[in-house]
Chain A
Amino acid sequence: MTNLEDFRQETAAWLEQNCPPSMRTPMKETDTIWGGRDFQYPSEDAKQWKECMAAKGWTAPTWPKQYGGGGLSSAEATILKQEMRRLGCRPPLFSFGLGMLGPALMEFGNEQQKREHLPKIVNGDIRWCQGYSEPAAGSDLANLQTSAVDKGDHFLVNGHKIWTSYANQADWIFCLVRTDKSSKQGGISFLLFDMESEGVSTRPIQLISGSSPFCETFFENVKVPKDNLVGELNQGWTIAKRLLEHERAMISEIGFADPSGGGAPLASLAKEYLGESHGRIADRVLRSEIARHEMKSHAFLATLKRAGEEAKAGQSVGATASMFKYYGTENNKEKFELMMKILGHHGLGWEGAGFSERDLTTTRRWLRSKGNSIEGGTSEVQLNVIAKRVLGLPD
């Protein structure tokens, strides 16, 4: 226990000394530090902050030291997280390599692959994207058709991916490909390759919110060395499912990672836009809706905490990743719908002097939130998973 207290003090002192003041202010989406070969850092401070954290391995605190990670125990990692939150430190690096590929490589990759890729993820040298969905393989992901044909020393990859997040800015891709047409789930393999390979091209997709975080990605006779196969041939579906769990965990916390939701909490926003009467939100009906939403959010966070404690105590965890994905994203959508109700006419702008920066941002974020319950498996798919895996209802 004393050791942990020492660790807390040392960590606090180190963060105090090394985290630039500008990295302790609330961040916008465009401030996210993704890393990568050609990444344009939003500021010199952002670059410095990432570099000194990466040098300690604290961009991936619990990963083993031999792969560039921090080698921290989960108790120490929690302390680091708490101290960063206390000082208001921004995440030094955010990437799909850290949240998704890394954990999968740790479990399924061979030694050479771990040594090759993990340190570059920790340092933010390589930015990864995920090649999963295809035009005819959305919710029915296992229906994917992008093929990888064995050509002796390499695979020849042909196909068309969609909803590839930031493919146009990514350096490498982890990709699901079909290596056997005779078996649906059992004919999928997990490949890694460089986006600069000949035959790879991307096209951004503009969303209803106006932003373009996703791309279509095309592969035309792309040669991928056989060493880049992760796990066994045709074992890709197992890896994909595990990775999806990490992704769902990430998405379900989307609305909660930033408690301000990119602005004032609902209640103070409502007081500002709707006025007060005797210290209460003047609109009594919306006041009730806001309170009910806050109570449910509280219950959701308590459930995340309970699941963590149950796992730690070695008890079987009742709530599943699918439940968190379902509830977290539906809750986030509800939050933005409430914000739109509070903003009223102010929430209806696209551009123009009549709207504040916050009004316009809220509108765009409301539109973007609609994707939360679609990406990473739709809400309907999550409910199917709960019904089948947890409740044991028949097909």
Chain B
Amino acid sequence: MSMVLNEEQIATQDAAKKLIQAHSPVSALRQLRDEKNEQGYDEFLWQQMIVLGWPAILIPEEFGGLELSPSFLSVILEESGRTLTCSPLWSSSLFATYLLVHSADSPARTKALNAMATGKHLVSVAMEEKARHAPYDINTRLTGDAELTLTGQKHFVINGHIADQFIVSACNAKNELMLVLVDQDQPGIIVERNWMVDSHNSATVTFDQVTVSADQMIKNNNLKALFDNALDVARLGLSAEMLGTATEAFERTLAYLKEREQFGAIIGSFQGLKHRAALMFSELELAKSTVREGFAALDNPNTDSTKLARLASIAKAQLSETLHLISNEAVQMHGGIGMTDEHEIGFFLKRARVLEQLLGDEVFHTDRFASISGY
């Protein structure tokens, strides 16, 4: 794949735009928030996504999936980013699914993938423990010989309150990375739902002496490499979603600059605002290229994991910085109305910060990029 979308991807993008614009405008997120919706996402919308096959995109045909490339999910996530849509698409159908698809065969994996292809079985990755993204700073323990037990606490588990299963990162006695697949209703697991600032959901999940069988271990000849790859794919997915969010916030702001009048003039005629708008446009163009380049590399079987890591860090850093800038400018340029809950632009600012922090902001990825580059 080049950095230009092909016909199939454009068709997928059009279908996504149609569905999401119709059933999931920003007002739908407001409604979920105001009614303190039990599920935290629109089940009708999710049913439509299932009909279109989106949860099955990454899943191999042998498990009833479509076995398509991640770039198909990227254009869907971009559209859902435009309307701040709440769904398990990123957390379950991209992140958790990618991890399971690329892990070694096991009965538990087969069962999970078969169920996930229908869209009716959701899995969340439970990995964060610290204030900031730190995938390898793990206190959760997996101990014991004959019988393994899992103990620890994870927070910021995206869509954890609706997950049927969790993929949990832990360390064994030798301090090696372990990944286990547990059911949400196993004894010793407590799931507490949190409402985030962006009206999306995350959970705090506590594991107290949870018994883990050998079949629940996620295996791969290099588990850390698998985890890193899955994180990078998930970061690119977030970057695609952020591209949609940033583009929409920018377009709404630009429209406002063309309609609002002060001092007897359209405010978009003032050079102090024009230049800032032109700057945002330039940053957005760069950000878009990093997303397209990342997914093009992902679709290329010759891409090695170091290259993928570099491109994922560049994309996530670029999008974090760009969305940060645009979400701030969006509120500022809307003036007083931008500070009200009634206006939708504030939703973009709130969502922006969550997306920035998820799997690492530009500070995290700048450090990572330097390390990967050998300095």
Contact = CB atoms under 8 A, between A and B. Distances in A.
Contacts of B282: 319, 323, 326-327, 386
19 contacts: A295-B317, A295-B318, A298-B290, A299-B290, A299-B314, A306-B288, A309-B3, A309-B4, A313-B4, A323-B282, A327-B282, A384-B278, A386-B282, A387-B277, A393-B254, A393-B257, A393-B277, A394-B268, A395-B269
Contacts of B317: 292, 295
Contacts of B362: 292
Given A305-B3, A393-B257, A291 B366 contact: yes
Contacts of B271: 384
B286 A391 contact: no
A291 B286 contact: no
A201 to B, nearest CB: 38
B302 interface: no
Given A281-B375, A295-B318, A299-B286, A384 B3 contact: no
A306 B366 contact: no
B111 to A, nearest CB: 41
Interface string B332-375: 00000000000000000000000000000011011101110111
Contacts of A327: 282, 286
Contact of B258 (A290, A305, A393): A393
B258 A288 contact: no
A287 B369 CA distance: 10
B289 interface: yes
B21 to A, nearest CB: 21
Given A318-B288, A394-B266, A386 B281 contact: yes
B293 A302 contact: yes
B4 A306 contact: yes
Contacts of B318: 295-296, 299
Given A295-B314, A384-B274, A300 B375 contact: no
B290 A288 contact: no
A38 interface: no
Contacts of A292: 317, 362, 366
B292 interface: yes
Given A296-B318, A299-B287, A395-B269, A390 B371 contact: no
A5 interface: no
A288 B321 CA distance: 14
Contacts of A47: none
6 nearest CB pairs, A to B: A291-B370, A387-B274, A386-B278, A302-B289, A267-B375, A383-B278
Interface in A240-285: 267-268, 270-271, 279-281
A310 interface: yes
Contacts of A268: 375
B2 interface: yes
A303 interface: yes
Nearest to A279: B374
B11 interface: no
A393 B273 CA distance: 10
Interface of B: 2-4, 254, 257-258, 266, 268-269, 271, 273-275, 277-279, 281-282, 285-290, 292-293, 313-314, 317-318, 362-363, 365-367, 369-371, 373-375
A3 interface: no
A380 interface: yes
B4 A323 contact: no
Interface in A1-44: none
Contacts, number: 127
Contacts of A395: 269
Contact of B289 (A291, A299, A390, A391): A299
A387 B318 CA distance: 22
A393 B286 contact: no
B340 to A, nearest CB: 25
Contacts of B288: 303, 306, 318
Contacts of A380: 275
Contact of A290 (B292, B314, B375): B375
A256 to B, nearest CB: 14
B156 to A, nearest CB: 24
Given A271-B375, A303-B286, A393-B274, A323 B281 contact: yes
A152 interface: no
A352 interface: no
A315 B275 CA distance: 26
A259 to B, nearest CB: 14
Given A267-B375, A323-B281, A315 B4 contact: yes
A288 B368 CA distance: 10
A290 B285 CA distance: 22
Given A295-B318, A305-B3, A394 B269 contact: yes
A291 B4 contact: no
B373 A391 contact: no
A280 B274 contact: no
A313 B10 CA distance: 13
Contacts of B367: 288, 291
Q: Which one of A380, A382, A383 has the greatest number of beta carbons of chain B within 10 Å?
A: A383
Contacts of B275: 380, 383-384, 387
A288 B289 contact: no
A391 B292 CA distance: 22
Contacts of A310: 3-4
Given A280-B371, A383-B278, A295 B285 contact: no
B3 A306 contact: yes
A392 interface: yes
A384 B266 CA distance: 16
B314 A323 contact: no
A100 B78 CA distance: 39
A288 B366 contact: yes
A393 B2 CA distance: 32
Contacts of B365: 295
Nearest to A303: B289
Nearest to B310: A298
A334 interface: no
B371 A295 contact: no
Nearest to B279: A383
A391 B256 CA distance: 12
B277 A323 contact: no
A140 to B, nearest CB: 15
